[in-house]
Structure 1
Amino acid sequence: MASFWILLVLLLLIGDLLCTSGQVTRPTNTAVFLTYTREVLLALRFKGTMPPAGLPEAVIGSSAGGARRRKRGRKGGVRQRVRRRGNRPPLPSIVLSNVRSIRNKMDELRVHTRYSHEYREANILVFSETWLREDIPDSLLELEGFSFTRADREATSGKSRGGGLGVYVSNSWCSQYTVREKYCDPDLELLCLSMRPFYLPREYGNVICAVYVPPSANAARAANRLAECVHAQMLRTPGAPIFVLGDVNHCRLEPALPGFHQYVKCGTRNNKVLDKCYGNIKNAYRAKALPPLANSDHSTVQLMPTYKSVLKSSKPVQKTVFQWSEDSTETLKGCFLCTDWSIFHDLELNEATETVTDYINFCVDTIVPKKTIRHYPNNKPYITSEVKGCINRKNVAFKSGDRGGMAEAQKELNRMLSEARRNHGAALEESVGTMNTKGLWDHMKKSVFEKTVLSLANRILSDPSHFLTPEYELLPSGRRYRTWRCKSNRLKLSFLPTSIVLLNNHHIVHST
């Protein structure tokens, strides 16, 4: 009897402890419910030695310190995306300014490139009106982490002072760049650079044209001379991103550079946009005004890349293709031979056509095996299965350590790539010769082969007897071709309207 009372007292003590720790609420019925607060549950989160069975790893979390694996989200926006990419942007981040003598602003510029992230994280710094002379050495203009290229004003400009261009290139972004052209006359000062950065998501390098158009210049002559330089670079590397930036004052480049877009919308001097940036990629940059350097009367412009590569801007497309082989072909032939086609003789023409077509498709779907492939938007149209097989053989040789086999695979890959490009160009030319509009656009929509289309258009224009030559009609100015007024999208995307647009964009005009 005494043991019974002792056991009852112990049970009451345990019940009181549970009530104080778990906040037990006792309803009127016999069931007992335990109610825990949020703080109690979070405190017990990492106390268990054995996690419940069946929970995924993401729910269990890390027991070290009780910290979350990662933040629930991250900051968005162009500025944060540029910072995250660091020295691997799809397009270079640029700082543009008219400094009006760069020599007396070097101290402030060095401070900015060291402590200001707008300058420190920029890939290219472009300055106009540097006011440099031959007696000023490059050692006075050095910036830590940047390489400097200059184009001083020459005597051919008719002035002895002022002007000049300077471009700083970040060494952590690009160390291979070439000066393509330097030009100076009373109407235009030009410095053209082609760059090959370490990280290049596109097949071709970037082309930067720094320009300065004096206030007293002839705007038409300056625009035409600049268009010739841009046209030469587009012919040298078709499809490459080209950017023209600098202080253009009263010169408007839109008529001379059709197909180029202007990115600077903020005022750079007295609410007027004098420092501009043009490029052949739509919505490539977002401009932001920064305070001017020292006593310059032009605001500095920061150009942050908003461009996204085709691979990231478009989702891959999954397609189902048939895997044709000799066995499947023979099996399909046997199926058709065993078919009693006489049962379709009594049907009407439309009904018989629909029935036979459905039957053939049913046989093909049943006999021929299928495979689901993923087509990425940046796939090249000339990359065939043979080229992919050669790439796989090279990878196998590399993993096995066979250096001789890897060299042979590389030679074969180079040969197959050249052959694939030639075959693709030949197929495009054949589509033009036979006026196969659908076949031509099927090739063109896969990749912008501007160089091939332009060469075909030049070949047509150089041959007066070609049946397509009369379709290219010059405007009264003699500088551009008359574009087609297309009522359908299919006609607009055909060869002739497309080639005329490309000819006008590239300023290729032939005298008649």
Structure 2
Amino acid sequence: MNVFSCPKILLTNVRSIRNKVDEFEATLSKYKIDLAVVTETWLNAETENLAAIPGYQHFNKIRVGRKGGGVSVYSVDRLIMNHTEHHDQCNFECLWCCITIPNNIRRLKHYYVGAIYYPPAAAGAEQLVSHVIETVDRIRSANHEVPIIILGDFNDLNTNELCDNLGLTQVVNFHTRKDSTLDKIFMNYPELYDDIVQKAPIGCSDHVSVLMKPITCLPKNDHVTVKIRPMKDSSMRQFGQWLVDHEWNNVYDLMDTTDKTAELATTLQNAYHSNFPTELLKMRSTDRPWLTKRVKQLIKQRQKACVKFGKSSKWKKLRNGVHKAIMDAKKSYYQDVISGFHNSDSSKWHKNVGKLCNLNQKQSFSIPGLNEEETAESINQHFADVCCQLPALDQNNLPAYLPSSQPPPEIYPGQVQRLLQSIKPQKAGHPEDLSAKLLRECAFELAPPITNVFNCALKAGTFPDRWKHATVVPVSKIKGANTCNDLRPISLTPLLARTFETFLVNWIIEDISV
């Protein structure tokens, strides 16, 4: 096995290894096997040492109380294999090991292997499946992206739950005994292996052997490069000073609401881009859900400091800062996303805990025959068609008491400031918005020009066109959505539009409550 690769694996049912040790050793040598799992070893406490193979370390799980059964795991000496006994359960012929590949890349340095033999028509099927699911959950809670391989002779055990609940893939696609596939291999990274073939049985066994060959070139992590504008303290001070010094006559002097809104947005965007320069950041599909852009930025700074200054005091300070940021991000992710569901919606709580531990597989939506851009356009058209089915508003058919003879209420800067300060920093907005954090921090300085736009819109009786635009995120209504009718839109409108709507909603509720 080469560095930066994966172990070559052999799965075989030998039906007693004691009289097949020589042939088994020859098979390991012929195919240069790094890791082998053997079922139905038929070993006992007196004979388990007879199955040792030179150049390999091995662990056995023997059947207690009666003959037959048993599993063994063999690992070539250049790998480090540890028997994780705390994961084993004596009631089952199940053996868990951690395989370490020295000097391998970080994400493929450790593997967890579960070797299982389930006798035909045996009792305790549900308990065994539950044991496997709980064990994998415990492993993933410590390292959510570690490769996990579960393999063995499952006979008539219903293994569908291993795929459904754990997101594993069963990769053996041929019969291993007569016309049945009894010997199976479940993995969370099937893309690491490109050749899974059947080999001759060991001795007179009636099970064919299964050989898994790893890929020769390791696939790169999928990643996208995103632009971010870090909210540095120095940038915040510069932007705040600009707000204090800026005269808003370019907004106040305009009479049309649409022009006012556009001028305000353009002015703020130009200042934002000037004071908060962009930086490039890589985000990978395997990143943990709590690994925010800020954490990744701190990690990048720590790495640069290590290269430039070595393990100096500056590097240690950044290292401690990264550790604290990770802990804060984990706590924040749990508090913001998960904890609220614990008492109100247990199913959502479990779903999000599964996401935190990488137990859920992200579902993608696609339309046969269309690429990603065409699929997005089709979804957009589907949502637009819903609005087109409604008749346009005819202003001539409005009630007789509209428009009102009374002037609209007036909004004051203090009211706008309080609403801006109540915006949650993590609130998602329109792509052209200032960040929610910036609106909240600079509420006092931003309140006067925003108030001017609000009052102008009220007097004109119009809602600015700019605020009618929304970024639509399609969300699945059901599990396994495959048509546009299975999707519903989540519209992200501008934050200032939502702030303005808050005043309107409060006035309407106050009026109908009288």
Bin the TM-score by the shorter chain: 0.5 to 0.7
Residue number in structure 2 paired with 1:290: 199
Query: What amino acid does structure 1 have at the position aligned with 2:23?
Result: E
Distance 2:82 2:90 in 1: 24
Structure 2 match to 1:109: 24
Shift of 1:272: 1.2
Counterpart contact for 1:93–1:123, Cα < 8 Å: yes
Q: Which of residues 305, 316, 323 in structure 2 aligns to 1:418?
A: 323
Q: 1:308 to 1:357 in 2, by over 3 A?
A: farther
Aligned to 1:267, the other structure's residue is in SS state coil
Report the alpha carbon displacement of residue 298 of structure 1 after superposing the two structures with TM: 0.5
Pair 1:383 & 2:295 matched? yes
Over residues 128-180 of structure 1, what are the superposed CA-to-partner deviations in whole Å (9 max), with x where a residue is unaligned? 01111222252x4333432111111111xxx2x21111110122233555444
Residue of structure 1 aligned with 2:106, choices 184, 201, 209: 201
Partner secondary structure for residue 354 of structure 1? helix
Distance in 2, Cα, partners of 1:331 & 1:102:
75
2:59·2:83 contact (CA, 8 Å) conserved in 1? no
Distance 1:353 1:452, change over 3 A: farther
Measure, in 1, the Cα distance between the counterparts of 2:325 and 2:359.
Answer: 14
Rounded to whole Å, the distance in 2 between the matches of 1:149 and 1:385 is 44
CA–CA distance in 2 between the matches of 1:345 and 1:434? Answer: 49
Between the aligned partners of 1:238 and 1:101, the Cα distance in structure 2 is 36
1:301-316 aligned at under 5 Å gives the runs 301-305=210-214, 312-316=220-224
Q: Measured at CA, do residues 172 and 430 of structure 1 come closer, stay the same or move farther in structure 2, by a change above 3 Å?
A: same
1:217 positional shift: 0.5
SS at match of 1:268: coil
Q: For residues 338 and 151 of structure 2, what CA distance do their matches in structure 1 show?
A: 41
How do residues 35-434 of structure 1 correspond to structure 2 at under 5 angstroms?
Answer: 86-89=2-5, 91-114=6-29, 116=30, 118=31, 120=32, 122-136=33-47, 138=49, 140-155=50-65, 159=66, 161-175=67-81, 178-185=84-91, 188-198=92-102, 199-202=104-107, 205-218=110-123, 219-235=125-141, 237-255=143-161, 258=165, 259-281=167-189, 283=191, 285-286=193-194, 287-305=196-214, 312-319=220-227, 321=229, 326=234, 330=238, 333-334=241-242, 337=245, 339=247, 341=249, 344-365=252-273, 367-368=274-275, 370-377=277-284, 380-381=291-292, 383-398=295-310, 406=312, 412=317, 415-432=320-337
Letter in 1 for 2:19: N
Distance 1:322 1:256, change over 3 A: closer
Paired position in structure 1 for 2:404: none
1:394-440 CA-partner distances (Å, limit 9, x unpaired): 44454xxxxxx65x66764663343122210232134238979xxxx
Structure with larger Rg:
1
Q: Distance in 1 between matches of 2:96 and 2:224?
A: 36
Question: Shift of residue 215 of structure 1?
Answer: 1.2
Q: TM-score, normalised by structure 1?
A: 0.58
Shift of 1:222: 3.6
Q: Give the CA deviation at 1:106.
A: 1.8
Q: Alpha carbons of 1:225 and 1:451: their partners in 2 closer, same or farther (altered >3 Å)?
A: closer
Return the letter of the residue paired with 1:368.
N
Alignment of 1:9-48 (within 5 A): none
Relative to structure 1, is the Cα distance of residues 197 and 152 closer, same or farther in structure 2, using a 3 angstrom cutoff? same
How far apart, CA to CA, are the structure 1 residues paired with 2:251 and 2:155?
Answer: 81
Q: Give, in whole Å, the separation in 1 of the partners of 2:236 and 2:316.
A: 34
Distance in 2 separating the partners of 1:342 and 1:225: 68
Mapped partners of 1:247, 1:108: distance in 2: 20
Would the alpha carbon gap of residues 204 and 423 (structure 1) be closer, same or farther in structure 2, given more than 3 Å must change? farther
Q: TM-score, normalised by structure 2?
A: 0.57
| Matched residue type, 1:290 | K
Evaluate the alpha carbon distance shift between residue 175 and residue 278 of structure 1 in structure 2; reply closer, same or farther with a 3 A threshold.
Answer: closer
Q: Is the contact between residue 301 and residue 318 of structure 2 (CA under 8 Å) also seen in structure 1?
A: no
After superposition, the Cα gap between the structure-2 partners of 1:214 and 1:484, relative to the gap in structure 1 and judged at 3 Å, is: farther
- Provide the C-alpha distance between the structure 2 equivalents of 1:126 and 1:172, rounded to a whole number of angstroms: 17
Give the secondary-structure state (helix, strand or coil) at the position aligned to 1:131.
coil
| Alpha-carbon distance in 2 for matches of 1:236, 1:362 | 45
Alpha-carbon distance in 1 for matches of 2:487, 2:217: 30
**Partners in 2 of 1:125 and 1:413 — Cα distance?**
43
Contact residue 16 and residue 40 of structure 2 kept, 8 A:
yes
Q: C-alpha distance in 2, partners of 1:350/1:331? A: 25
Q: Distance in 2 between matches of 1:423 and 1:203?
A: 27
- Matched AA of 2:99: M
* C-alpha contact (below 8 Å) 1:87/1:172 kept by paired residues: no
Does the alignment pair 1:450 with 2:343?
no
Q: Could you tell me how far apart the structure 1 residues matched to 2:182 and 2:95 are?
A: 18
- Which fold has the larger relative contact order, with Cα–Cα distance below 8 Å and residues 6 or more apart in sequence? 2
CA distance in 1, matches of 2:359, 2:327: 11
Q: Which amino acid aligns with 2:206?
A: D
Unpaired segments ≥5 residues, structure 1: 1-84, 399-404, 454-482, 492-512
Aligned-partner Cα distance in 2 for 1:327–1:256: 50
2:68 is matched by which residue type in structure 1?
G
| Shift in alpha-carbon separation, 1:288–1:347, aligned structure 2, 3 A | farther
CA shift in 2, pair 1:321/1:220, >3 Å: closer
- Structure 1 SS opposite 2:72: strand
Cα distance in 2 for residues equivalent to 1:98 and 1:330: 70
Identity %: 20
Q: What is the alpha-carbon distance in structure 2 between the residues aligned to residue 368 and residue 385 of structure 1?
A: 18
Measure the CA separation in 2 of the matches of 1:123 and 1:192. Answer: 17
Structure 1's 100 and 314: CA in aligned 2 closer, same or farther, altered over 3 A?
same
Q: In the TM superposition, what is the alpha-carbon distance from 1:252 to its structure 2 partner?
A: 1.2
Structure 1: distance between partners of 2:488 and 2:280: 29
Q: Give the residue type in structure 2 aligned to 1:288.
A: V
Matched-pair contact (CA < 8 Å) for 1:192–1:207: yes
2:222 alignment partner AA:
S
3-state DSSP of counterpart to 2:150: strand
The gaps in structure 2 that reach 5 residues or longer are 342-347, 361-475, 480-485, 491-514
How many pairs does the alignment contain?
Answer: 350
Letter in 1 for 2:115: A
